[in-house]
Amino acid sequence: MGLHLSNSLMIWNQSVTGAKQYRVDDQFWHPRVRESLNILGSLMKTEEDWQAFHHAVERQASDRADKMLAGIAKYLAHPYRRPESMAVEAARLGNCRLYDFGGEGKPILMTPSLINPHYVLDLKPGRSLAIFLKERGYRPFLVHWFDPGDEEFGFGISDFVMKRLVPFLDHVVRVAGGPVPVLGYCMGGTLTTALAARAQKQISRLALVAAPWDFDTEKPHAGKKYAPVMAEALAKLPPGMPLPVDAVQTFFTSVDPTLNDRKFRKFADMNPATEAAEFFVALETWANTGAPLPRQVADEVMLGWYRDNQPGRGKWLVDGKPVRLSDVKCPVWIAAPEEDRLVPQESAYAMLQGLPDAIAHDPGAGHVGMMVGSKARSGLWEPLLKWLEE
Amino acid sequence: MVFDALPQGKLCICTKKIILRQKPTSYTDFVMRNEETEQAADLFLTLWQENIRLWAQERDLLPHSELADLLRADIPGHKRQGDASERS
């Protein structure tokens, strides 16, 4: 939150100086806005026009900053709290839990990322993939990673796969009496790919949603640029110290430093009693929640994945052996939107090259929007259900 | 004209004003009205923020330090602090 504030206030403070200078040929301006600026500048015919314009910019910049702060205050004061989930704890290993949504449906294991909370797959009524599947004949089992305990703080990614996902999968397979479908979201998808390679006979189908695999795509991406920054930060941390969640949040904020200002100013005008306002609060709370990343996991992800592209090069070790896509024998559905700036589509689709039986799907929304946004049902949930039923 | 960075509503207002101002008839037509000035400032601030979003997108990432550098715009010979004579 501090970083959001700092970015927004700096942007609006500096805009006043920018207006006074108004150099359209300045390298500060992106080529895509220069023409608009030229036209806007042509409106000012006299020195009085410019002076009035400067005063208006100064006042409105201050108003925008105030409105962003008002939006944050309104968010913090909003009464919405996530309703208690209908899922019950089915198993616990260390500090990791497996939630069971119950019923007589077909069991499916759902695995979120290690970065943000598990409940993005069950955000709130009407915004829950887990409930959507339950209402259509499935019995979701959802992995809850947080918060790492003493044991998990000593884990690498391989440990999370072999000592947590494998036993959780065993549990779901026992309930089902046979192989089950598995869904992995974001980094959880990369982990379940390793799971599918190690537990081939227990997985009937694998759905990967925005799961990064090739970290050395031709198209540059934010994670690739951030990896050296994180490598430098990790080198400065005391040995074994987990990666603070703020370090990861800094990355998300840096992908678009204007996003939070725009979001909170929009929220300031929202009727707090609406579903849209509740959804905003639910999602923002989810996005701003996280747990420290165990140090070995942070090293493996930032250095092994993003810097060295170990998964894409077949060098990523889980249980002491490289994870090979050719070992994933079940049908795989790879959902990855083109507009995802956190996990480039190219990175996720790279798996199509190595998987024996895989198809691709573009959900047509962003990294998080495809899971819980207005297009989630038509873009992701229904196509997923159709594929599961094939 | 390409205004892909501008919301269409604001674009229409902006363009209309430019057309209206092609044929000034009196001194008051040369001086922007308050309403126009406010709209111009609003548009400028929208472009200001959009500019940062576009750079973040183009560079893949714009960490806080790089954002600060961009806003300082310490390009040799291009002082950001300035007066009307620096306008292009």
Residue B22 lies in a domain: no
| Range from A278-287, A361-370, B6-15 carrying the lowest mean pLDDT | B6-15
Encode pLDDT of A224-249 as tens digits.
778 888 888 888 889 889 998 888 88
Q: How many CA atoms lie within 13 A of A19 on its CB side?
A: 32
Q: How many CA atoms lie within 13 A of A92 on its CB side?
A: 8
Q: Do B45 and A6 touch (CB under 8 A)?
A: no
Residue A130, domain extent: 88-218+314-389
Q: Do A60 and B51 touch (CB under 8 A)?
A: no
* Token reading at A353: 């090259």
Of all residues in chain A, the percent with pLDDT exceeding 90 is 73
What mean pLDDT comes out for the span A270-290? 94
Residue B46, domain extent: 35-73
Encode pLDDT of A2-13 as tens digits.
777 888 899 999
pLDDT of residue A367: 93
Residue B13 lies in a domain: no
Residue A321 lies in a domain: yes
Q: Do A254 and B61 touch (CB under 8 A)?
A: yes
Of all residues in chain A, the percent with pLDDT exceeding 70 is 100
Quickly tell me which residue has 């000035």 as its tokens.
B37
pLDDT of residue B1: 29
Contact A182, A118 (CB under 8 A): no
**Number of domains chain A contains:** 1
- φ and ψ of B21, to 5 deg: -90, 5
pLDDT of residue B64: 81
- Is the pLDDT reported for residue A220 higher than 80? no
Encode pLDDT of A297-334 as tens digits.
999 998 999 889 999 999 999 999 999 999 999 999 99
Residue A241 lies in a domain: no
Residue B24 lies in a domain: no
> Between B44, B56, B87, which is nearest A257 by CB?
B56
What mean pLDDT comes out for the span A367-379? 95
pLDDT of residue A141: 98
pLDDT of residue A222: 78
Quickly tell me which residue has 């036993």 as its tokens.
A167
pLDDT of residue B29: 54
pLDDT of residue B2: 33
Q: Could you give the CA distance from residue B55 to residue B58 in angstroms, rounded to a whole number? A: 5
Q: Beta strand A138-144 with A106-111: parallel, antiparallel or unpaired? A: parallel
Residue B5 lies in a domain: no
Please, what is the average pLDDT of chain B?
65
Residue of chain B whose alpha carbon sits nearest to that of A229: B63
Residue B26 lies in a domain: no
Encode pLDDT of A147-179 as tens digits.
899 999 999 999 999 999 999 999 999 999 999
Interface mutation target, options B4, B44, B49, chain A, most CBs of A under 10 Å: B44
Q: What do you get for the CA distance between the two ends of chain B, in Å?
A: 19
Compute the nearest-CA separation of A145 from chain B (Å). 28
| Chain A residues inside the 8 Å CB shell of B62 | 254, 256-257
Residue B85 DSSP one-character state:
G
Q: Do A11 and B67 touch (CB under 8 A)?
A: yes
Handedness of CA B62, B64, B68, B71 (dihedral sign): positive
User: Is this complex scored with an ipTM above 0.85?
Assistant: no
pLDDT of residue B10: 54
Please, what is the average pLDDT of chain A?
93
pLDDT of residue A308: 92
A47 touches chain B (CB under 8 A): yes
What mean pLDDT comes out for the span A34-61? 91
Residue B16 lies in a domain: no
**Number of domains chain B contains:** 1
Q: Say which CATH number the domain at A114 has.
A: 3.40.50.1820
Residue B68 lies in a domain: yes
Interface mutation target, options B47, B74, B75, B83, chain A, most CBs of A under 10 Å: B47
pLDDT-based confidence at residue B60 (cuts at 50, 70, 90): confident
Q: Could you give the CA distance from residue A313 to residue A332 in angstroms, rounded to a whole number? A: 20
Contact A387, A367 (CB under 8 A): no
Q: How many CA atoms lie within 13 A of B32 on its CB side?
A: 27
Interface mutation target, options A14, A216, A340, chain B, most CBs of B under 10 Å: A14
Residue of chain A whose alpha carbon sits nearest to that of B78: A26
pLDDT of residue B7: 52
- Is the pLDDT reported for residue A356 higher than 80? yes
The answer to whether the predicted template modeling score (pTM) of the entire model surpasses 0.90 is: no
Residue A318 lies in a domain: yes
> Between B54, B64, B88, which is nearest A3 by CB?
B64
- φ and ψ of A110, to 5 deg: -120, 130
pLDDT of residue B13: 54
- Is the pLDDT reported for residue B87 higher than 60? no
Residue B67 lies in a domain: yes
> Between A26, A43, A256, which is nearest B78 by CB?
A26
Give the type of residue at A84. E
Residue of chain A whose alpha carbon sits nearest to that of B75: A27
> Between B17, B56, B78, which is nearest A256 by CB?
B56
Encode pLDDT of A130-141 as tens digits.
999 999 999 999
pLDDT of residue B67: 85
Interface mutation target, options A5, A28, A54, chain B, most CBs of B under 10 Å: A28
